[in-house]
Amino acid sequence: MTDDTPNATTRRGFLRGTAAVAGAGLAAASAARAATPDPLITEVQSYASGFGDPVDAAPYGMPIEFEKHVVRRNVEWLTESPVSSINFTPIHALEGTITPQGCAFERHHSGAIEMSKSDYRLMINGLVDQPLVFTFEDLLRFPRTMTTAFLECAANGGMEWGGAQLEGCQFTQGMIHNMEYTGVPLRLLLEEAGVQTAGKWVYAEGHDASSNGRSIPLEKALDDVMVAFFANGEALRKEHGYPVRLVVPGWEGNMWVKWLRRISVYDQPVDSREETSKYTDLMSDGQARKWTWIMDAKSVITSPSPQAPIRHGKGPLVITGLAWSGNGRIERVDVTTDGGVSWQPARITGDAKSKALTRFHLDIDWDGSELMLQSRAVDETGYVQPTKDALRAVRGLNTVYHNNGIQTWWVKADGEVENVEVA
């Protein structure tokens, strides 16, 4: 423990009351600290005897240098070229639920393009009464809505289907981010164009060379899909689709078209590259599962985890992680420290928003022995996050998509953590 927040103190009191041995150990540790004069307490520090930076030193702020390890990282062998690649959100080092744009993972099929608001155009055509082209200014005059939603690439955790075990939840589960979006419901733009009765699907494409075209059933397009231009209170960053991207809550990241260029209304799906040769799940029998849009309930313990080992020794241990479901709210998250023999419910901290990342915590008194840590999410539909083996039994090993299996962290006595699987 490096801080002495009121919460930590309360919890220490609780632990002392319930576990005499642990309580004694904590009291001894505190006494030792108090007995040694700490210059950080007893001496005037330089920052307290001079001026700090003036207000205009950083008109747009970056994280302090001590946090410079909290960055996106990639896995070089994963993709051939950085313009058609992916990096990973440092979820092991973040708290709460909102992902700052500056460290939210990126996935581009042909690089991030630079598009100004004045050059921006969005076309709606196909089976509509009136084909329309909107400028960015036009979009700003439609009534706005807001939603917080996770975006998870369908390939998140994909390397683990075959058992490749990357050391860190950033790498195993970091193809995810969660932002608060503001924009215009796609429904309003479609209503403006007037969808004809034959129209059953929309096909969304981006301005980039890949275009990343995806077919979306009209029902979803009219429900909660958003044409978004703000994320976490500010303009979208270039890499997330500036100035306009599609937000498709609960559905796989590939459908969240960036640098949104065109919405075409069709009577049937387009069967584009991104929904046939890619983003379909090849099963053992050679058939592919198609239209696997929804991201099923999943969770992962973010700390402790391989990149976030336990450094403080035994005693109070904060276990924390993230849970999410493309089918709605997270109802419950269970945590096991013994590889699934016994489970206890974690605390859902803050709101459990529908189709958004949900934070959970479990405070334990760690006795210093090895742990097999897992979390298991249950969503509001009653769906329970499966084991990886249960998924493999049904889907085989050919696919890289939609792995929402339970992740196991082996916590060793020295606090180091390794990515393992329990049979």
Ligand X SMILES: Nc1nc2c(c(=O)[nH]1)N[C@H]1C(S)=C(S)[C@@H](COP(=O)(O)O)O[C@H]1N2
Residues at the interface with ligand X (CB under 6 A):
104-109, 151, 153, 177, 206, 208, 210, 212, 239-240, 253-254, 256-259
Say if residue 243 is preceded by a cis peptide, omega within 30 of 0: yes
Encoded tokens for 256: 């969240």
Residues 71 and 64: their CA atoms lie apart, in Å, by 12
Nearer to ligand X by Cβ, of 220 and 240: the residue is: 240
Say if residue 304 is preceded by a cis peptide, omega within 30 of 0: yes
CB of 219 to Mo ion, least distance (A): 23
109 near Mo ion, judged by CB under 5 A? no
CB of 109 to Mo ion, least distance (A): 9
Give yes or no for a contact between 423 and 389, defined as CB atoms under 8 angstroms apart.
yes
Give yes or no for a contact between 109 and 240, defined as CB atoms under 8 angstroms apart.
no
Encoded tokens for 377: 């999410």
The residue type of 170 is: Q
376 binds, among Mo ion, ligand X, none (CB under 5 to 8 A by kind): none
259 binds, among ligand X, Mo ion, none (CB under 5 to 8 A by kind): ligand X
240 near Mo ion, judged by CB under 5 A? no
Nearer to ligand X by Cβ, of 90 and 315: the residue is: 90
Give yes or no for a contact between 141 and 184, defined as CB atoms under 8 angstroms apart.
no
374 near Mo ion, judged by CB under 5 A? no
Determine how β-strand 260-266 pairs with β-strand 121-126: parallel
Nearer to ligand X by Cβ, of 92 and 245: the residue is: 245
Give yes or no for a contact between 233 and 179, defined as CB atoms under 8 angstroms apart.
no
CB of 58 to ligand X, least distance (A): 25
Nearer to Mo ion by Cβ, of 253 and 386: the residue is: 253
Give yes or no for a contact between 228 and 236, defined as CB atoms under 8 angstroms apart.
yes
Q: What angle do CA 96, 97, 101 make, to 5 degrees?
A: 110
153 near Mo ion, judged by CB under 5 A? yes
Nearer to Mo ion by Cβ, of 12 and 107: the residue is: 107
Question: 82: alpha, beta or left, given left = phi > 0 and alpha = psi -120 to 50?
Answer: alpha
Which span sits near Mo ion by CB under 5 A: 73-81, 247-255, 299-307, 312-320? 247-255
107 near Mo ion, judged by CB under 5 A? yes
213 near Mo ion, judged by CB under 5 A? no
Residues 71 and 104: their CA atoms lie apart, in Å, by 9
Which span sits near Mo ion by CB under 5 A: 9-17, 20-28, 107-115, 412-420? 107-115
Give, as one character, the DSSP assignment of residue 38: -
173 near Mo ion, judged by CB under 5 A? no
Residues 32 and 22: their CA atoms lie apart, in Å, by 16
Residues 412 and 58: their CA atoms lie apart, in Å, by 42
* Residues between 329 and 348 that touch Mo ion (CB under 5 A): none
Which residue in the shown chain puts its C-beta closest to ligand X?
206
174 near Mo ion, judged by CB under 5 A? no
CB atoms under 10 Å from CB of 408, counted, come to 22
251 binds, among Mo ion, ligand X, none (CB under 5 to 8 A by kind): none
158 near Mo ion, judged by CB under 5 A? no
Number of residues that bind Mo ion (CB under 5 A): 4
CB burial of 42-66 (b: ≥16 within 10 Å; e: otherwise) equals eeeeeeeeeeeeeeeeeeeeeeeee
Encoded tokens for 22: 């642990």
Site for Mo ion (CB under 5 A): which residue of 185, 253, 306, 405? 253
Torsion of CA 103, 108, 112, 113, to 10 degrees: -150
CB of 278 to ligand X, least distance (A): 8
Site for Mo ion (CB under 5 A): which residue of 147, 170, 172, 254? 254
Residues with Cβ within 8 Å of 197's Cβ and at least 6 positions away in sequence, in order, are: none
108 binds, among ligand X, Mo ion, none (CB under 5 to 8 A by kind): ligand X
Which residue in the shown chain puts its C-beta closest to Mo ion?
153
Nearer to Mo ion by Cβ, of 153 and 335: the residue is: 153
256 binds, among Mo ion, ligand X, none (CB under 5 to 8 A by kind): ligand X
Nearer to ligand X by Cβ, of 109 and 329: the residue is: 109
Nearer to ligand X by Cβ, of 149 and 297: the residue is: 149
Which span sits near Mo ion by CB under 5 A: 102-110, 188-196, 285-293, 307-315? 102-110
89 near Mo ion, judged by CB under 5 A? no
Give the helix/strand (H/E) hosting 169.
Answer: helix 169-173
- Which parts of this chain interact with Mo ion (CB under 5 A)? 107, 153, 253-254
